[in-house]
Amino acid sequence: MTEVTKQRDTLAKWAKSMFDRGLTGGASGNISLRLSDGTLLVTPTGSSMGFLDPGRISHLDEAGLLLSGDAPTKEMPLHSAFYETRTNTGAVVHLHSSHSVALSVLPDIDPDNVLPPLTAYSIMRLGKVKLLPFFLPGDPEMGDAVRGLAGKRSAVLLAHHGPVVAGKDLEAAVYAMEELEETAKLALLTQGLSPRLLNEQQIGAVVRKFDVDWD
């Protein structure tokens, strides 16, 4: 089995898992994965993550030209920006998960760090999550906005749209995405209840112990 065939199967497995658990629905969301030769596997445009045909997953060369499979997601500028600015990126996951989208439209969130410090795990797996403004789906300016962060964020939240997470591999990106959605859910559940947040000393301890980017 070639690396392309094996990783197409892996990508389809993770995509179905997220779809089946309600993290994204319909034909929403997209995933990319970088292979050892620098080429990319990407979910096709208009496809449902719950019903991917592995053989039709897009395979792109390093210049973004289609080698095999169907045409890739229109959100490729978003994915490309993470690969270009974060050299350790091995996969990118973008979903339209409900709690994260709901959090993105609230008026009183911190645009530089949208997730309140409710747990150590959101800090460990995500660092600070930047809120980006609304863009039309597929707008190349989304990629420009990510490039403007100069590689300092592994996760962003697109207002009125959904989260995007980069990881060292697909498993890490999926786990971080799940943590983002669960923390957004906790933030909504505790909104207006004055929850006890991790203090600066506790946050600093997590950042130091797990070597988290937190600037």
Please give the positions annotated as active site.
Answer: 75, 121
Q: What pLDDT digit, counting tens, does each position of 122-174 carry? A: 999 999 999 999 999 989 999 999 999 999 999 999 999 999 999 999 999 99
Cβ neighbors of 49 (< 8 A, separation 6 or more) are 15, 16, 18, 19, 24, 28, 29, 30, 31, 43
pLDDT at 1 over 80: no
> How many helices (H) and strands (E) are present in the chain, helices listed first?
7, 8
Distance CA 67, CA 149 (A): 30
| pLDDT range class, residue 175, cuts 50, 70, 90 | very high
Q: Is the residue at 214 inside a domain?
A: no
Supply the CATH number for residue 56's domain. Answer: 3.40.225.10
pLDDT given at position 169: 97
- Mean pLDDT across the stretch 190-206? 95
pLDDT at 214 over 90: no
Q: Is the residue at 122 inside a domain?
A: yes
Q: What pLDDT digit, counting tens, does each position of 4-48 carry? A: 999 999 999 999 999 999 999 999 999 999 999 999 999 999 999
The pTM for the full model equals 0.95
Residue length, the chain? 215
Distance CA 42, CA 57 (A): 6
Domain of residue 150, residue span: 3-209
Per the structure, the count of domains in the chain is 1
Q: What percent of the chain has pLDDT over 90?
A: 96
Going by the DSSP 8-state scheme, the letter that residue 95 receives in this structure is -
pLDDT given at position 213: 86
If 0-12 CB within 10 Å is exposed, 13-18 middle and 19+ buried, where does residue 22 land?
exposed
